Amino acid sequence: MLQNIRVVLVNTSHPGNIGGAARAMKNMGLSQLVLVQPEDFPSGEAVARASGATDVLDAALVVDTLEEALTGCSVVLGTSARDRRIPWPLLDPRECASTSLEHLEQGGQVALVFGREYAGLTNEELQRCHFHVHIPSDPEFGSLNLAAAVQVLTYEVRMAWLAQQGQPTKMAKLETTAMLNSQLVTVEELEAYFRHLEQTLIAIRFLDPEKPRHLMARLRRLYGRCAISRLEMNILRGILTETQKVVDGAACKKGEE
């Protein structure tokens, strides 16, 4: 589905940015790059910065006008760094992603349009867009690198797409889940640990049963929030068992005196 999103770069000056944009796109699973009158393309610098995303560069469509670049799209989202005289429906990158997904789901083609490095999109170009997208940068230093802007918008699209697919946004989530969740200790195991811990703390004389204060409550709060796995619990229990052996050894020696 993500192949139905095209990234449109208008009048890009630096070929390195085209390469960086191609890499960002491919990282996020996009492949359709359209270049409107690039100043310097094809270019070795673009290939270098693409760092392996040369297939995206090779397949890039070079056109003369924004209108051509937008052929067949059902929604056009244009990045804008500035306030415009005519206010336009303005989205943040996350809203841009959800709007894009809505159109993709209905079989539409989506265009994400990025302007020139220094001047952005002209008012005329912005008026060809259905929505303006603003990356919420620091107003005092607001202009992102072109490839960085492509990275942010395509990242948000991928996050939205993964969520929609029901796919984890985290690699190895299965493993982590297996590790940290499906093998989490039960309440009973945790309670058994607290009993063992309390006995050991008394044995090493860290906890005075006459004056327990809030010690066990504090330890409960700490370990309670940690989502302890069974493996970790075995380690914690092992530490207590070895500690008690030392205590018993010491007591034994005392008894021998």
Residue ranges in 195-234 that form contacts with its own copies under rule CB under 8 A: 201, 203-206, 215, 218-219, 221-222, 225-228, 231-232
Contact pick of 1, 59, 119, 235 for its own copies (by CB under 8 A): 235
**At 197, is the secondary structure helix, strand, or coil?**
helix
Distance CA 126, CA 145 (A): 19
Distance CA 58, CA 209 (A): 75
**Length in residues, the chain:** 257
Which listed range, 36-44, 61-69, 108-116, 146-154, lies at the site for its own copies (CB under 8 A)?
146-154
Q: Which residues in the 151-170 window bind its own copies by CB under 8 A?
A: 151-152, 155, 158-159, 162, 168-170
Which listed range, 32-40, 44-52, 120-128, 187-195, lies at the site for its own copies (CB under 8 A)?
44-52
Contact pick of 137, 164, 183, 199 for its own copies (by CB under 8 A): 137
Whichever of 34 and 50 has its CB closer to its own copies, that residue is 50
- Closest separation in Å from C-beta 13 to its own copies: 13
Whichever of 36 and 135 has its CB closer to its own copies, that residue is 135
Which listed range, 4-12, 37-45, 51-59, 107-115, lies at the site for its own copies (CB under 8 A)?
51-59
- Closest separation in Å from C-beta 23 to its own copies: 6
Task: Report how far apart, in Å, the C-alpha atoms of 91 and of each of 61, 95, 98, 112, 246 are.
Answer: 27, 5, 10, 12, 64
Residue 79 forms beta bridges with which residues?
A: 133
Binding string, residues 11-30; x marks residues near its own copies by CB under 8 A: ---------x--xx-xxxx-
Residue 244, number of CB atoms within 10 A of its CB: 16
Q: Per-residue b/e over 127-162, b at no fewer than 16 CB within 10 Å?
A: ebbbbbbbbeeeeeeeebebbebbbbbbebbbebbe
Whichever of 63 and 137 has its CB closer to its own copies, that residue is 137
Q: Which residues in the 73-132 window bind its own copies by CB under 8 A?
A: 83, 87-94
Which positions ≥6 away from 88 have C-beta within 8 Å?
A: 80, 126, 127, 129, 131, 132
